[in-house]
Chain A
Amino acid sequence: MASLSQIPNQPGAMRVGIPRSLLYYKYLPFWKTFLAELGLEVETSPLTNKQILSWGVEVAENELCVPVKAFYGHCMALRGKVDALFVPRVVSVEEREYTCPKFLGLPDMVAAVADQLELPPLLTPKLNQREKPSEFKWQLINFARDEFGVGAMDAIAALETARLAQRRYQESLASGHKPLDLLPSSRLNRTRWKAPKGERKRIGLLGHPYNIYDGYITQNLVARLEEMGAELVVPEMTDHHVLMQAATDVPKQLYWSYEKEIMGAVNHWTENKMVDGVIYVLAFACGPDSLVQVLIEHRARVHKVPLMSLTIDEHSGEAGLVTRIEAFTDMLMRKKKTAEAVA
């Protein structure tokens, strides 16, 4: 697959910045390709680092979850580098569902501090598929016309190319690649060593991509687990429709799409015995996760799958995390050995 960094940028064009946080991890290929096809130069903020997070923590309301705080920091990191910031209002990505309230209010939250922080102007297209999924297309066509004066035909062409890029990205994820391998990033978060195949434990890694794959926020969790001998199973490996179908096994349909994916994944994994254990990463004060957590923990208990909930925030320390995941992987190993001995 062509790396995203190879999409040619046109010199002299308007530079648009995409903060490397939140939905970046889900939709970067789509957004980047779409904007590039419209003739814009696309710039992303660097990987989350100490400076970015402390900027965010300083500016953001203190009860917000850590990824949203990081988002503020990423916006600040793009100051002076771009002519506009791309902060879409992603209201809904599925019919009759929402994303998270924080994504609904994100452009307004950033706009409230834009003057004070001297942020570049914001581009905030509203993407809402709640009422009618086909409206998504028109929302983007109107956005291209209103902001850049791009005609409908050109916008549709850009949209199709972007869709293709997104589909290729998702196919790569489904075949086991991590967003870290596909998105422009540094080598820092990469796994350096893996255990031989037979000795690996299958660990389901559950949580929002913007937490799990942000190596700074979750302290390189992915690489650490793989180096401890885990064969990671992540929701993106399963077909989206399968997940959504599996997620219907709850008393009332969840109305947060991303939580529905998580719920679907845990249902699917436990149903098909795909994992030996599950690590559930949730950000402190994450609203939807705080409730879905109850259902997920219940599900794991009923199916007798060990589950560890790992709450993270900007104060999480490396040692605490390592101790906990080591204990968890050791426990899984011991369980496996005991089971083999009994057999």
Chain B
Amino acid sequence: MKISCPHMGHLHYMLEDLFERLDVEYVKPPVSTTKTLTIGAKHSPEFACLPLKINVGNFIEALDMGADTLIMAGGHGPCRFGYYGIVEERILRDLGYEFDFIMLEPFNDGKRDFYKTFKRLSPGLTIPRLYKILKASFAKGRAFDYVHKRSLQVRAYEVNRGDTTRALRQAEQLMALAYTPEEIEEAGREALALIDAVEQDPDRDVMKVAIVGEFFLLLEPFSNFGLEEILGHMGVYLERTVWVTDWIAPNRENKVYGFPKNFVEEKAEPYLSHNVGGEGRETIGGIVLMAERGFDGALQLLPFGCMPENIATSIIPKVQRDHDIPVLTLAFDEQTGRAGLVTRVEAFMDLLAARRGSRLALAGAAAATDKI
């Protein structure tokens, strides 16, 4: 069995680890490129969301590399993601590919089925063993998330442009090799130390910006043209509301993000009081939360036509007014170009800087008036 799964940020490191433990051969699809997207978009329905198109491209490239089994996560709606797998399978079969297809439904939707899915991959797998495997791979995913999060903050202060990115690559290589739980813990610590060792200018006056929005767009640098790096190089301190291990964690603690789901949902309550699938509510809650924490602005990333995010986008103008935080909404599809994106982001950063300047000036004026 040669198994493959689409790319999503650094998820492939975790999958590599997981399949190694399960003793299944993993075919890592080639890194997503414009070619991947072109192939995917060609065979996908016109207004399906961007992640599906990239997924299809990944699958096709993996099948061409010899994968014979494809695995895809499921869900129970109302976001489209839960039905991706079925549609992707249909598209690929209509193209004439032959393969086994496995839908991995969430643990809470059926514990037995969840176990059975893994047993199909690795006959003879017992429940305690599966638990141990998942725990170890999950720990590895966590380590990657923590290191990535640190890099988003350090990059804003780096003295030599590109140092953080280089340190991050090194850290990833280091962590990828770790296998036993002790090694993973050790590697995680060393990786964080590597990021911290980047030469920094602590006195730099950095802009604080939150990145909120749809899951895949936030996690996969290919889909957002490496926006985190672009911003980091402009000297912007970033915080992101979505992390892969927070999402698959069995609890609602959001350890990497730092704010539990319930807390974020409460923040969204006055504006969006019901779950609308995807990250709609987390987007609204995240903007409110970041505004309260004094962030200068927020960027909302979404695939064109994303239903939950479009609901959030419809509500954001009110949140912006109430909390006095500028939000730039960026919708992505296969037509989006890098130059247009960079121009818009630069203009937005200029706006934030001007706002900050005028706010400082206002505060100064107020202080001066106080003295009189």
Q: Does A252 sit within 8 A of B, measured CB to CB?
A: yes
Q: Which of B23-31, B311-319, B350-358 contacts A (4 or more CB under 8 A)?
A: B311-319
Closest Cβ of chain B to A80, distance in Å, is: 22
CB <8 Å contact, A64 and B91: no
Q: Does A83 sit within 8 A of B, measured CB to CB?
A: no
CB <8 Å contact, A101 and B313: no
Q: Looking at chain A's contact residues, is the secondary structure mostly helix, strand, loop, or mixed?
A: mixed
Cβ-defined partner of A100 (8 Å) among B84, B86, B87, B307 = B307
Contact A63 B304, CB 8 Å, known A108-B274, A255-B77, A291-B80: yes
Contact A293 B45, CB 8 Å, known A101-B278, A288-B80: yes
Select from chain A the residue with minimum beta-carbon distance to B305.
A285
CB <8 Å contact, A108 and B87: no
Interface residues of B in 264-311 (CB under 8 A from A): 271-278, 280, 304-308, 310-311
Select from chain A the residue with minimum beta-carbon distance to B272.
A108
Give the docked Cα–Cα distance between A63 and B273 (Å).
22
CB <8 Å contact, A287 and B45: no
Q: Does A112 sit within 8 A of B, measured CB to CB?
A: yes
CB <8 Å contact, A291 and B45: yes
CB <8 Å contact, A101 and B79: yes
Q: Does B235 sit within 8 A of A, measured CB to CB?
A: no
Give the docked Cα–Cα distance between A155 and B313 (Å).
37
Chain B 162-182, CB-CB to A under 8 Å as 1, else 0, gives: 000000000000000000000
CB <8 Å contact, A295 and B87: yes
Select from chain A the residue with minimum beta-carbon distance to B75.
A255
Closest Cβ of chain B to A88, distance in Å, is: 12
Select from chain A the residue with minimum beta-carbon distance to B273.
A108
Closest Cβ of chain A to B307, distance in Å, is: 4
Closest Cβ of chain B to A1, distance in Å, is: 34
CB <8 Å contact, A255 and B80: no
Give the residues in chain A near B61, CB-CB below 8 Å. none
Q: Does A109 sit within 8 A of B, measured CB to CB?
A: yes
Q: Does B260 sit within 8 A of A, measured CB to CB?
A: no
Closest Cβ of chain A to B257, distance in Å, is: 22
Give the docked Cα–Cα distance between A236 and B271 (Å).
36
Give the docked Cα–Cα distance between A104 and B48 (Å).
20
Give the residues in chain B near A112, CB-CB below 8 Å. 271, 314-315, 317-318
Contact A255 B47, CB 8 Å, known A102-B311, A105-B280, A112-B315: no
CB <8 Å contact, B45 and A290: yes
CB <8 Å contact, A101 and B307: yes
Looking at chain A, what size class is its interface with the partner chain?
Answer: 35 or more
Give the docked Cα–Cα distance between A104 and B310 (Å).
12
CB <8 Å contact, B307 and A287: yes
Cβ-defined partner of B271 (8 Å) among A61, A108, A291 = A108
Q: Does A198 sit within 8 A of B, measured CB to CB?
A: no
Interface residues of B in 215-236 (CB under 8 A from A): none
Interface residues of A in 238-296 (CB under 8 A from B): 250-252, 254-256, 284-288, 290-291, 293-295
Cβ-defined partner of A252 (8 Å) among B45, B74, B80, B315 = B74
Chain A 124-137, CB-CB to B under 8 Å as 1, else 0, gives: 00100000000000
* Of A60, A61, A113, A287, most B-chain CB atoms within 10 Å: A287
CB <8 Å contact, B78 and A250: no
* Of B76, B89, B94, B276, most A-chain CB atoms within 10 Å: B276
CB <8 Å contact, A252 and B86: yes
Q: Does A169 sit within 8 A of B, measured CB to CB?
A: no
Cβ-defined partner of A255 (8 Å) among B76, B87, B308, B310 = B76
Select from chain A the residue with minimum beta-carbon distance to B329.
A61
Chain B 238-276, CB-CB to A under 8 Å as 1, else 0, gives: 000000000000000000000000000000000111111
* Of A113, A291, A295, A311, most B-chain CB atoms within 10 Å: A291
Give the residues in chain A near B277, CB-CB below 8 Å. 98, 101, 104
Q: Does A91 sit within 8 A of B, measured CB to CB?
A: yes
CB <8 Å contact, B311 and A256: no
Give the residues in chain B near A96, CB-CB below 8 Å. 76
Q: Does A26 sit within 8 A of B, measured CB to CB?
A: no
Cβ-defined partner of B83 (8 Å) among A60, A109, A291 = A291
Q: Does B90 sit within 8 A of A, measured CB to CB?
A: yes
Give the residues in chain B near A126, CB-CB below 8 Å. 274
CB <8 Å contact, A290 and B315: no
Give the docked Cα–Cα distance between A105 and B272 (Å).
7
Cβ-defined partner of B94 (8 Å) among A285, A287, A298 = A298
Interface residues of A in 52-106 (CB under 8 A from B): 60-61, 63-64, 89, 91, 96-102, 104-105
Q: Does B331 sit within 8 A of A, measured CB to CB?
A: yes
Contact A255 B78, CB 8 Å, known A104-B277, A287-B305: yes
Contact A287 B80, CB 8 Å, known A60-B314, A61-B313, A101-B280: yes
Give the residues in chain B near A288, CB-CB below 8 Å. 80
CB <8 Å contact, B311 and A109: yes
Q: Does B82 sit within 8 A of A, measured CB to CB?
A: yes
Give the residues in chain A near B275, CB-CB below 8 Å. 104
Chain B 305-347, CB-CB to A under 8 Å as 1, else 0, gives: 1111011011101100000000000010000000000000000
Closest Cβ of chain A to B318, distance in Å, is: 4
Give the residues in chain B near A298, CB-CB below 8 Å. 90, 94
CB <8 Å contact, A256 and B47: no
Closest Cβ of chain B to A247, distance in Å, is: 13
Contact A252 B331, CB 8 Å, known A63-B310, A108-B271, A290-B46: no
CB <8 Å contact, B314 and A61: yes
CB <8 Å contact, B305 and A290: yes
Give the docked Cα–Cα distance between A291 and B276 (Å).
18
Give the docked Cα–Cα distance between A105 and B82 (Å).
19
A residues in contact (CB < 8 Å) with B: 60-61, 63-64, 89, 91, 96-102, 104-105, 108-109, 112-113, 126, 250-252, 254-256, 284-288, 290-291, 293-295, 298, 311
Please provide the 8 A-B residue pairs with the shortest distance between their CB atoms, ordered closest to farther.
A105-B311, A255-B77, A98-B78, A287-B307, A101-B307, A105-B276, A285-B305, A112-B318
14 inter-chain pairs at a CB distance below 8 angstroms, sorted by A residue, are A64-B314, A98-B78, A101-B277, A102-B311, A105-B272, A108-B272, A108-B315, A113-B314, A254-B83, A255-B77, A255-B83, A284-B47, A290-B80, A291-B45
B residues in contact (CB < 8 Å) with A: 45-49, 52, 74, 76-80, 82-87, 89-91, 94, 103, 271-278, 280, 304-308, 310-311, 313-315, 317-318, 331
A sample of 4 more A-B contacts (CB under 8 A), given A101-B308, A294-B91, is A99-B78, A101-B307, A290-B47, A291-B80
